[in-house]
Chain A
Amino acid sequence: MKIHEYQAKDLFAAYGIPVKSYILCRTPDEVVSAYSQLNVNKVVLKAQVLTGGRGKAGGIKLADNPQEVQTRSEAILNLKIKDIPVDRIIVTEAVDIKKEYYLSIVVDRNTKSALLMLSSDGGIDIEEVAHSTPERIHKFQIDPMLGTPDFFTRKVAFTLFSDIKLVNQLSHIIKSLYMLFIETDASLAEINPLVLTDDDKLIAVDAKMTFDDNALFRQPKIAELFEPTEEEKKERDAKSKGFSYVHLGGEIGCMVNGAGLAMATMDLIKRYRGNPANFLDIGGSSNSEKVVQALKLLLKDDDVKVVLINIFGGITRCDDVANGILQAFEQIETDIPVVVRLTGTNEEAGRALLRDSKLYVANTMSEATRLAVNISLKTY
């Protein structure tokens, strides 16, 4: 789950990480009055959207008089950044930058630990740095049992600074950031840039955090910050029914048990020159209630011309799955053709049950997919 920069800055401030105060605005007029309220010469106007690449898209601008503040905030509030309209801006005092650094903590799959990363190449696209000059990013694994003892943060900080005063400032920031990371179940906490000002103070000029969805049940304050897009609302609704759903935009609605098999089904549709409408994993087992719910979800999508049900009957036997599907179709009226592929335990019995219905029954995943693609091409 993502949050806005200003929300991340609130968390930073609460954990003692130095940030400049900001004023959140929704209209150019609010921005202008925020400017006079801050009573500083130069300010930064920053679009608040839940996506990266704000700078490149023109979502971050400097201004040093009311006129500029007005016109530039208007421009930003009229932007769409990666299709997301900008509805919020923060106004904050511009700082004098001596040098920019990069600091982040992420969960790393390979080391199976929280990984601290820092670089003297801050302020720019860190993925680009990682790609072209990986040696310029310093990485340190954090031992989950030890956390961030003094010697560790000092060792880390000395890779960027030799002045002990700066080392101490950075050590403090690292400790605070890690504590925040752990206590909020974050998956990313990033400061880019971490700025060294002309008077030798380190300040987090930007703040980015994402959180582990699996941990939201024990992070109610973080969960409250969730601002789902329309797509995410659908996905969350599906999740509450025990499904994983992602809309893709094609014509073949897919219903599959298991995430890996669901992805493989999408891939196969594409390989046979069709277009999957969605990813839908209805979970390892499948009963009629689940099939009904999943069908309703698929048929809400007007682009769907054919439904492909791909079930591997393992623990749940194929004859039980077939009965579930038949019961589901007693409850749902639809003219949309449905292709069913059932394989696994008791598959013959399962298919025999479906043969008298109006469903198309296929023996293999390839056969079912080919059939669904052909139907979609004919009806499209």
Chain B
Amino acid sequence: MSILIDQNTRVVVQGITGRDGGFHALKMKDYGTQIVAGTSPGKGGMFVNGIPVFNTVHETVKLLRANTSIIFVPAAFAFDAILEAADAGIKLIICITEGIPTLDIVKAYSYVKQKGASLIGPNCPGLISPEKSLVGIMPATVFKKGGVGIISRSGTLTYEVVYHLTAAGLGQSTAIGIGGDPVVGLHYLELLAMFEDDDETDSIVLIGEIGGNAEEKAASFIEHHVSKPVVAFIAGQTAPADKQMGHAGAIISSGSGSAKEKIEALEAVGIHVAPEPSMIPGLLKR
């Protein structure tokens, strides 16, 4: 197994005629992901990198049994794209787009949930189940199949961590970038539960950063519901308060959301927090 995506995942790329959409559609296809279609309203009938383009997501579900969508449309149109995917019956929606107004996501999330679907992102690198499926913009070459499940609020920091894991002979079951915005879809708790239930996952790496209190909540969840070993890394120990550090959600506000609080909460329940990314494999092997 693996979680959320595997070789049976059938992907539609929303915004495939854009530069990023077309580029990554090809990358995913080359990796072996079943990219069944792309959409771009008014451009139905054309092909992008050999992938058929449709006007609506609905058609791709009906004709090609798409069950997962990945969104590359610009921020101003992403809200509508998420609604369209959920309305069409897509069950897993991955939104790569950065810079979407937060209240759009609040509304879209509510609709996605009502439709019984799941949202990953926005402002995320997507996810990969190595050697099975890549639905995202992650550099597939650094990943290797194995037993480590990864949940991260960051992109390149995840690649950095995975690079060390792979070099140490620790492959990955699924790696998910949940996104750097204040409000995102699937988060630590849901994904920790999925990894706990997944046969192929034997340990979990949680990569967090400043802002909010999701890591604290994860610590308490792990204490009560996760039996597999978990190692964490938290970025932003030296970040000043009230400054947004790149990600819209990475901000220490009103004195809360600091790395120190998160590390203390995790260590309090016995989770090892790596002082630098290169030390994660060593802590996992312990």
Residues on B with beta carbons closer than 8 Å to the beta carbon of A281: 246
Tell me if A260 and B240 are in contact (CB < 8 A).
no
> Which chain A residues numbered 247 to 267 have a C-beta less than 8 Å away from chain B?
248, 256-264, 266-267
Tell me if B276 and A246 are in contact (CB < 8 A).
no
Given contacts A263-B235, A366-B276, contact A182 B103 (CB under 8 A): yes
Q: List 23 A-B contacts (CB under 8 A).
A: A109-B214, A109-B249, A112-B105, A127-B255, A212-B103, A214-B100, A256-B156, A258-B156, A258-B246, A259-B245, A260-B154, A260-B235, A264-B235, A264-B276, A284-B125, A284-B137, A284-B155, A284-B156, A312-B163, A314-B156, A315-B137, A345-B139, A345-B141
Residue of B nearest to A219 (CB): B101
Tell me if B107 and A260 are in contact (CB < 8 A).
no
For the complex, is B76 an interface residue (Cβ under 8 Å from A)?
Answer: yes
Q: Kindly supply a per-residue 1/0 record for chain B positions 138-156, scoring 1 wherever the CB is within 8 Å of any chain A CB and 0 otherwise.
A: 1101100000000011111
For the complex, is B243 an interface residue (Cβ under 8 Å from A)?
Answer: yes
Tell me if A258 and B255 are in contact (CB < 8 A).
no
Apart from A260-B209, A260-B247, A313-B139, list 17 A-B contacts with CB within 8 A: A109-B214, A110-B214, A185-B101, A214-B100, A246-B240, A246-B245, A257-B156, A258-B155, A258-B156, A259-B154, A259-B155, A264-B276, A267-B276, A284-B155, A314-B141, A315-B137, A344-B163
Cα A276 to Cα B235 in complex, Å, equals 14
For the complex, is A144 an interface residue (Cβ under 8 Å from B)?
Answer: yes
For the complex, is A279 an interface residue (Cβ under 8 Å from B)?
Answer: yes
For the complex, is B44 an interface residue (Cβ under 8 Å from A)?
Answer: no
Query: Which residue among A113, A145, A267, A281 has the maximum number of chain B CB atoms within 10 Å of its CB?
Result: A267
Given contacts A263-B245, A365-B160, contact A107 B238 (CB under 8 A): no
Interchain CB contact (< 8 A) of B99 among A110, A114, A214, A271: A214
Cα A260 to Cα B233 in complex, Å, equals 11
Interchain CB contact (< 8 A) of B103 among A107, A258, A259: A107
Cα A314 to Cα B160 in complex, Å, equals 10
Tell me if A263 and B209 are in contact (CB < 8 A).
yes
For the complex, is B41 an interface residue (Cβ under 8 Å from A)?
Answer: no
Given contacts A144-B107, A212-B101, A366-B278, contact A259 B246 (CB under 8 A): yes
Interface of A is mostly: mixed
Cα A26 to Cα B240 in complex, Å, equals 32
Question: From residue B47, how far is it (CB to closest CB) to chain A in Å?
Answer: 23
Tell me if B243 and A246 are in contact (CB < 8 A).
yes
Interface range for A:
35 or more
> Which chain A residues numbered 205 to 232 have a C-beta less than 8 Å away from chain B?
212-215, 217-218
Question: From residue A179, how far is it (CB to closest CB) to chain B in Å?
Answer: 13
Residues of A whose CB lies within 8 Å of any CB of B are 107, 109-110, 112-114, 127, 143-145, 182, 185, 187, 212-215, 217-218, 244, 246, 248, 256-264, 266-271, 276, 279, 281, 284, 312-315, 343-345, 364-366
Interchain CB contact (< 8 A) of A218 among B76, B105, B139, B278: B76
Tell me if A263 and B250 are in contact (CB < 8 A).
yes
Tell me if A244 and B246 are in contact (CB < 8 A).
yes
Residue of B nearest to A52 (CB): B254
Interchain CB contact (< 8 A) of A364 among B109, B159, B207, B278: B278
Interchain CB contact (< 8 A) of B210 among A143, A263, A268, A343: A263
For the complex, is B182 an interface residue (Cβ under 8 Å from A)?
Answer: yes
Interchain CB contact (< 8 A) of A212 among B102, B154, B212, B246: B102
Question: From residue B258, how far is it (CB to closest CB) to chain A in Å?
Answer: 12
